[in-house]
Amino acid sequence: MRAEALKGHLDGLLLATLEHGPQHGYAVKEALCDATGGRLDLPTGTVYPALHRLERAGLIKGSWSVVGGRRRRTYELTEQGRRSLAGARDHWQEFAAVMSAALGGGPWPATN
Amino acid sequence: MAGHELIERHLRTLAERLPDPVVDELTDGLLASYDDQMERLGDPDAAAQAALADFGDADSVTAAFIRASSARQAAFTLLVAGPIVGLSWGATIVTANGWTSAIPLSSRLAVGVLLGSAVLLLVTAIRDQRHYRTVRLAALGGAGTVAVLDTVMLGTVVTLVPPPSLLLLVALTGSVARIMLAVRAIPAVIARQ
């Protein structure tokens, strides 16, 4: 699946990968790929700008550490991020229900 | 840095375009990806090519960082606000026959130069997709120039005390709002290196 198809949903997906604990950028990308059975394999380099945007919005918080001699930035959800994730889930369920109803193949209601 | 020549070349390109902390983070991600590919493929050249293909080219990564940057967002907001505030001032000057005022030509030219510089800097910040530092500096310069320009307009009104009108009130409010936007944007742009 291409990144463009995720427009409007990428933030929720990234927040969901951080729900169970802190992760660095590459681990976030791998978690998304694993969780979707490889169908959602975003370019690693484009995950980082999205994480920076979420951090600036106060939804995640980053911190530096040194692992194997390399500087690593790890991200975790903030309280605001948890609330945003819950909102994204509610919004998705509502959206999916509407789309499923519309595309489900049933007859369209008469308009006149 | 343990890695591969291809990986190091890619990181050097990114280092020319992006701030050091961002490059440190990308280095960690790219090398982690390379390590993973080495485990899967066992061949350094194949692993480096797979890691780079998975990572994305330098142009796409740089453009994604620039699109998400506070500098570009601030420049966009200020540029969009420009025509609204500019039209308010234009209408105010036309209806008040402002061109007959005692403002010297050199001052009018200086305002024109400030306006042109602000537009040029903000457009540069929005259009450049490859040079993060250029975008940041252009956004900073543009925001500063807009703040100075609006301050000059407010100062002119205070000095000349033109007859009050609804258009003048709209123009003054627009300038004050834009100064606040510019002043609020500057620390955020500086802080994000």
Give the domain ranges of chain B: 5-64, 69-191
Q: Do A71 and B55 touch (CB under 8 A)?
A: no
Q: Which residues of A touch B15 (CB under 8 A)?
A: none
Using CA coordinates, name the residue in chain B closest to A29: B29
For residue B16, pLDDT beyond 60: yes
Q: Does residue A34 sit within a domain?
A: yes
Whether residue A35 is contained in a domain is answered as yes
Nearest CA to B1 out of B28, B41, B37 is that of B28
Nearest-CA distance from A39 to chain B in Å?
Answer: 14
The answer to whether the Cβ–Cβ distance between B64 and A49 falls below 8 Å is: yes
Chain B: give the shortest CA distance to residue A112, in Å.
43
pLDDT at B39: 93
Out of B24-38, B59-73, B98-112, pick the least confident: B98-112
**Cβ-based contacts under 8 A for chains A and B:** 74
Residue of B nearest to A54 (CA): B68
Chain A: closest CA distance from residue B142 (Å): 21
> Does residue A105 form part of some domain?
no
The sign of the dihedral angle between the CA atoms of A41, A47, A51, A57 is: negative
Report the C-alpha gap between B74 and B61 in whole angstroms. 20
How much is the pLDDT for B190?
80
Q: Which of A41-45, B14-18, B119-123 has the lowest mean pLDDT?
A: A41-45
Residue A108 covered by a domain: no
The pLDDT of B135-140, averaged and rounded, is: 93
Residue B154 and residue B164 in contact, taking contact as beta carbons nearer than 8 Å: no
What pLDDT score does A10 carry? Answer: 86
Report yes or no: B189 and B71 within 8 Å, Cβ to Cβ: yes
CA distances to A76, B48, B96, B187 from B54, in Å: 24, 10, 62, 35
**What is the spatial distance between Cα A23 and Cα B25, in angstroms, rounded to a whole number?**
13
Token pair, residue A41, equals 């394999």
Distance CA A75, CA A63 (A): 7
Here the tokens at position B162 are: 């033109």
Please report the ipTM that was assigned to this predicted complex.
0.81
pLDDT of residue A106: 60
Residue entry with tokens 């509407």: A98
Tell me the average pLDDT across B73-81: 92
Tell me which CATH code domain B69-191 carries.
1.20.120
Measured at the CA of B187, the angle between CA B185 and CA B193, to 5 degrees, comes to 105
Average pLDDT, chain B: 88
| Bridge partners, residue A75, by sequence | A23, A62
Q: What is the pLDDT of residues A31-68, one digit of tens each?
A: 998 888 888 888 887 799 999 999 999 999 999 999 98
Of residues A37 and B75, the one with the higher pLDDT is: B75
Looking at per-residue pLDDT, the higher value among B74 and B158 belongs to B74
Domain that holds residue A79: 3-89
Q: Nearest Cα to B182, choosing from B150, B158, B136?
A: B150
Element of type H or E holding A74: strand A70-77
Q: Which CATH number is A85's domain given?
A: 1.10.10.10
Mean pLDDT in residue range B96-116: 80
A99 min Cα distance to partner chain B (Å): 30
Residue A2 has pLDDT above 70, yes or no: no
Q: Give the residue from B28, B36, B59, B62 with the most A CB atoms within 10 Å of its CB, the best one to mutate.
A: B28
* Pairwise CA distance, residues B79 & B151, whole Å: 17
How confident is the model over B28-51, as pLDDT tens digits? 999 999 999 999 998 999 999 999
% of chain B with per-residue pLDDT over 90: 54
Task: Report the C-alpha gap between A106 and B85 in whole angstroms.
Answer: 52
The label of the residue with tokens 């308010």 reads: B88
Residue where the block lists tokens 């105010």: B92
Distance in angstroms (rounded) separating the CA atoms of residues B134 and B121: 10
Q: Is residue A99 part of a domain?
A: no
Selecting from A29, A46, A73 the residue whose C-beta is nearest the C-beta of B64 gives A46
pLDDT at residue number A77: 97
Chain A residues inside the 8 Å CB shell of B1: 70
Answer whether A43 sits within 8 Å of B60, measured CB to CB: yes
pLDDT of residue A111: 59
Look at B61 and A46 and tell me if their CB atoms are within 8 Å.
Answer: yes
Domains contained in chain A, number:
1
**How many other C-beta atoms are found inside a 10 Å radius of the C-beta of residue A56?**
16
And the tokens for B90?
A: 């234009």
Q: Which two tokens stand for residue B115?
A: 């306006």
Helix (H) or strand (E) holding A23: strand A23-24
